[in-house]
Chain A
Amino acid sequence: MGSGREPRVAKTTPQSPVLPTGSGELRGREAVLGRLRERIVGYAASRIGREAAEDLAQEVLIVLETKYPQVGAAEELAPLAFRILRFKMAAWRRKRARRGEDRQAALDDVQPADPAPDPEAEAEMRERRERLRTAIEKLSGRCRQIFRLKLEGKSFAEIQREMGAASLNTVYTWDYRCRQKLLALLGGSWEAER
C-alpha cells in the first residue's frame, strides 16, 4: 500500500503527467486522468484562455495525484476534478484581479496565509446565494416541487413516486425543463459572468 500512495505524476513529465488513451472504455486510473486532463484543458481554454488552461489542468492533476492517489474510478475522480478545478479557477481569477500582469509580487505572496475566512469569497458567496434564492423563488408549480424534493435529498426515483410521474424519464424531462427556466431567470449562467 505504501507504494500506492506514491504520486504517480512523478513517473511522467510535468507537462503531461499521464498519457491520454484512445476512445472507448477507460481502464485504469491513468487512463481516466489522461482523459480528464484533455477535458479540463478544453474547458479551461474556453473560459480563461489556452495558455492558463494548460497550467490549470496540470495543477488539478497534481492535486489529484498527491492528495487522492487511492481514488481510481472515473465517477469518483471526475467530481473531485470539478471541485479542484473550480477552486483553481477562482484563485486564478482573484489573483489576476488583485495584481497586474506586470507586477511581480502577488498579494498572496507578500502576506502570510490568513486562517480566517476570506471576506471577499464570503461576500461573493453571499451574493451568489441571494441571486439563486431570488431566482428559485420565482419558479412556480411543478418546478418548485421538483427543486424542493431535490433539495430535500430525494433521488429521481423517489421524486417519480412522490409526484406520480409515469416514468423516470418523465422526471428527468421535467427537471431538465425546470432547470432551463431557472437558468433563464439567472441570466443564462449559474454564476455571474466574470
Chain B
Amino acid sequence: MTRDEIRKLLGGYATGTLSDAERRALFRAALEDQEIFDALADEEALRELFSDESYRRELAAALAEQRPGLGERLAAWWRPAPIAAAAAFVGVLVVGITVLTRPPAYEVAMRTEPKAAVPRAVEKAGGEAASKGGELPGTAVEEPTRQPGEARESAAERVEAEAAAVEGKPQRAARAKAKVPPEGRPAAPALPLAPRRDMVRAGAAPALGTARRAMIAEARRAPGVIGGVIPERGAVMGGSAGVAPPPAVLARPAEVARLRVTVQRLRADREFEAAPAGYRFKPGEVVRLRVVAPVPGFLYVAEQTGGSGWRLIHSGRVEAGQPVFLPARGGLPPQPEPGVCRYRVIVSEEALPLDELESGEAFEPGAAEHWAEVTLEYRAAGR
C-alpha cells in the first residue's frame, strides 16, 4: 500500500472499522512514519469517544435521521413565498392609494427638494397669507437655529412643514418650523437603528472574549455586585485579607440564591473546620474550600499565588445547594512560604471553554456567572 492509501486507513482506527490486514498495515506504517504515528496518536481522542457503546449508538441514531435534502430545504424556503408576495402586493396597494389620495399640496412638497422647495412653497402661500393680514409664512419656515442635541426632524415632519406653508397655515407651519433641518443636513432615519449584533451575546456567554472582558471591566466600575451575587462574608472569613468581588451591576434578579464559599482548615485531630474570621494561616497549613452553588451547572476554581496568573485547579459539574469540597479528599496543596494565595470560584450554568480557562490568561467571570473570590494570607508564626 502506498503512503496515501495508508493515510486513508486512519479513518477506520477510531471506529474499529479496520480488518486485521488493514490494522497491521496501518500500525506498521505508523512505526516507520512519524507523520502517520502523530495522526494516529491524535486519533486516539476520537477513538476514546467512540469506545463508549451508548454514545456510538446515539450518534448512529442521530445520523440515521435524514437531514432534509436540498430539494426539501428549497421547498421549505419557498413555502412562505406566496404569503410574502401577497403581503408585498397589499403593501404596494396601500402605499399607492395613500399617495394618490393625498392633497395636492402634499404632492408639491413631495416633489421638491427640502432645500429649494420650502422657499418656493412659502412664496406661493406667503402672498395669500399676507393678503389676509396674517404673519408671513416665510418666517415660519426659516432655518431654525439648531441647538446641540436637538432632535432631528423626520422626512414626514419636514413635509408637514412645507405642506402647512403651502396651504397658508402659518401656525401649523410655525409648529413644524422648529423641526426643519438646516440646509444640507441629512434627515434622520425614520426607524431607530438596530443594536449592533456584535455587541450582543445571547444567554450565558461561554467565551471569554474581548467584548466580555470589556463588559466585566465596565461592570466593575459601577456600584453593585457582579452577577447579582453577594459573596457572603463566609467566603472570605478564612482569610485575614478576604476580598469580596469588585462591585458591579449586572442584570440578575436580586432574589437569586447566593454562591457560598467557605474556607476550612485542618485541625490537629485531622478534622476540617471553618476557619474563623480573621484567622491567620500558617505556611504549610492544610485548607480546603467548601462551595455551595446557587444553581446547577459547572464549577470552576482557579488559584493565584505569588503574583502569578490564574491557574485552573478544578472544573466539574455541580448541583444547586449541595456542598462540594475542594479537593474532595484531603486539602489543597499547602502554601510553603508566607504570602498570599487567592482562589476564584465560578459557577456557570453553561460549560465554559476549558482551553481558555486552562490557559490561565482569562479566568474572568462573565456576567451570567456566579463567582466569589477568597484571599488567604499566610504568615509565619509570631509575625
Partner of A78, one of B17, B31, B333, B351: B31
- Which has the most chain A C-beta neighbours within 10 Å: B23, B48, B286? B48
**A8-47 vs B, Cβ < 8 Å mask (1 yes, 0 no):** 0000000000000001001000001001100100110010
Q: How far is the CA of A110 from the CA of B305 in the complex (A)?
A: 18
Q: Which of B17-67 contact A (CB under 8 A)?
A: 17-20, 22-24, 26-28, 30-32, 34, 37-38, 40-50, 52, 55-60, 62-64, 67
- Interface footprint category on B: 35 or more
CB distance from A181 to the nearest CB of B (A): 12
Beta-carbon contact of A128 and B45 below 8 Å: yes
Beta-carbon contact of B41 and A156 below 8 Å: no
**Main SS of chain A's interface residues?**
helix
Beta-carbon contact of B62 and A137 below 8 Å: yes
Count A interface residues, CB 8 Å: 77
CB distance from A67 to the nearest CB of B (A): 17
Contacting residues, chain A, for B43 (C-beta < 8 A) = 82, 190
Beta-carbon contact of B11 and A176 below 8 Å: yes
Beta-carbon contact of A120 and B329 below 8 Å: no
Beta-carbon contact of A156 and B5 below 8 Å: no
**A69-86 vs B, Cβ < 8 Å mask (1 yes, 0 no):** 000001100110011011
Beta-carbon contact of A112 and B329 below 8 Å: yes
CB distance from B349 to the nearest CB of A (A): 13
CB distance from B353 to the nearest CB of A (A): 7
A3 on the B face (CB < 8 A): no
Contacting residues, chain A, for B20 (C-beta < 8 A) = 75
Beta-carbon contact of B317 and A122 below 8 Å: yes
B16 on the A face (CB < 8 A): yes
Beta-carbon contact of B46 and A190 below 8 Å: yes
Q: How far is the CA of A93 from the CA of B315 in the complex (A)?
A: 14
Q: How far is the CA of A144 from the CA of B47 in the complex (A)?
A: 18
A50 on the B face (CB < 8 A): no
A91 on the B face (CB < 8 A): no
Q: How far is the CA of A85 from the CA of B43 in the complex (A)?
A: 12
Contacting residues, chain A, for B351 (C-beta < 8 A) = 123, 126-127
Beta-carbon contact of B12 and A150 below 8 Å: yes
Q: How far is the CA of A73 from the CA of B17 in the complex (A)?
A: 19
B323 on the A face (CB < 8 A): no
- Which has the most chain A C-beta neighbours within 10 Å: B43, B55, B63, B332? B63
A153 on the B face (CB < 8 A): yes
Contact of A156 with B12 at beta-carbon distance under 8 Å, contacts A86-B45, A193-B355 already known: yes
Beta-carbon contact of A74 and B59 below 8 Å: no
Q: How far is the CA of A127 from the CA of B297 in the complex (A)?
A: 13
CB distance from A46 to the nearest CB of B (A): 7
Contacting residues, chain A, for B50 (C-beta < 8 A) = 151
Beta-carbon contact of A78 and B45 below 8 Å: no
B312 on the A face (CB < 8 A): yes
Q: Which of A113-160 contact B (CB under 8 A)?
A: 114, 116, 118-120, 122-129, 132-133, 136-137, 139-141, 144-145, 147-148, 150-157, 159
CB distance from B25 to the nearest CB of A (A): 9
Q: List 23 A-B contacts (CB under 8 A).
A: A26-B28, A26-B31, A39-B31, A42-B37, A74-B27, A74-B31, A75-B23, A75-B26, A75-B28, A78-B31, A78-B40, A79-B13, A103-B305, A110-B286, A110-B331, A119-B316, A120-B314, A122-B317, A123-B354, A129-B49, A136-B59, A153-B16, A155-B19
Which residues on A are within 8 Å of B, measured CB to CB? 23, 26, 32, 35-36, 39, 42-43, 46, 74-75, 78-79, 82-83, 85-86, 93, 97-100, 102-107, 110-112, 114, 116, 118-120, 122-129, 132-133, 136-137, 139-141, 144-145, 147-148, 150-157, 159, 169, 172-173, 175-176, 178-179, 189-194
Q: Given contacts A39-B34, A123-B351, could you give 15 more A-B pairs where the C-beta distance is less than 8 Å?
A: A85-B44, A97-B311, A98-B312, A100-B308, A104-B336, A114-B328, A126-B351, A128-B45, A132-B46, A133-B62, A137-B63, A140-B67, A176-B8, A190-B42, A194-B358
